[in-house]
Structure 1
């Protein structure tokens, strides 16, 4: 049985900033309430993130938190942003090829975990 991880809902740009700064590995899924691609991709992302337990997860609705688009230069949704110690390391947007995204995420995650062992 797959245990689907929960994404923390962020409702202000201050919550977004706090989430990124307080989690060494943070992932933000930016969507829009009327985006069918966002709704279709989100369940796949939730399942994928089971493989990366040390990454903290959050969701932001760009219709609610309009500043998120400007702050992170998000031109289309869904946008998936991975931050390591506050710095953006990976970005995928709109039409995401899940297996390629997983490969990129795996390399970054393993690199981070290996660095932390020393």
Structure 2
């Protein structure tokens, strides 16, 4: 089981984000803004969820730190969650996160990794 502080890693550049997405099999990426209480709440819940999924690499970035993230990933509202499987975006949800749906999608991709 991962330690809480290891669950999600902050990214501060497009290069760092792309390296993780290309280098890991399953990546959950949270795009958020600094003055967004909902973003903090969503990230906290995602962090707890990822404790059960050691196969998933969790990363997040503030739009203020890497403004090009919004256009590169078409993330125009915050929070936006993007799931990448083998470098390709396979799931996206923005603003209103349905955690039951996210959990279901994560479990499906974790199972696909095991096959």
TM-score by length of 2: 0.89
Shift of 1:66: 0.6
Greater Cα radius of gyration, structure 1 or 2: 1
Structure 2, unmatched stretches of 5+, are none
Q: Residue 7 of structure 2 corresponds to which residue in structure 1?
A: 6
Contact 1:28 1:80 in 2 (8 A): yes
Counterparts of residues 36-115 of structure 1 (less than 5 Å): 36-114=37-115
Say if 1:11 and 1:108 are closer, same or farther in 2 by CA, change over 3 A.
same
Deviating beyond 6 angstroms after TM superposition, the runs of 4 or more aligned structure 1 residues are: none
Aligned length: 113
Query: Any idea what the Cα deviations from partners look like across 1:8-36, whole Å, max 9, x if unmatched?
Result: 11111111111111111111111100111
Q: Counterparts of 1:110 and 1:9 in 2: how far apart (Å)?
A: 26
Structure 1, unmatched stretches of 5+, are none
Q: Residue 33 of structure 1 corresponds to which residue in structure 2?
A: 34
Contact 2:7 2:50 in 1 (8 A): no
Q: RMSD between aligned alpha carbons?
A: 1.5
Q: Counterparts of 1:16 and 1:3 in 2: how far apart (Å)?
A: 21
Contact 2:27 2:83 in 1 (8 A): yes
SS at match of 1:60: strand
Shift of 1:6: 2.7
Q: Counterparts of 1:92 and 1:48 in 2: how far apart (Å)?
A: 16
Q: Residue 19 of structure 2 corresponds to which residue in structure 1?
A: 18
SS at match of 2:17: helix
Q: Counterparts of 2:78 and 2:114 in 1: how far apart (Å)?
A: 29
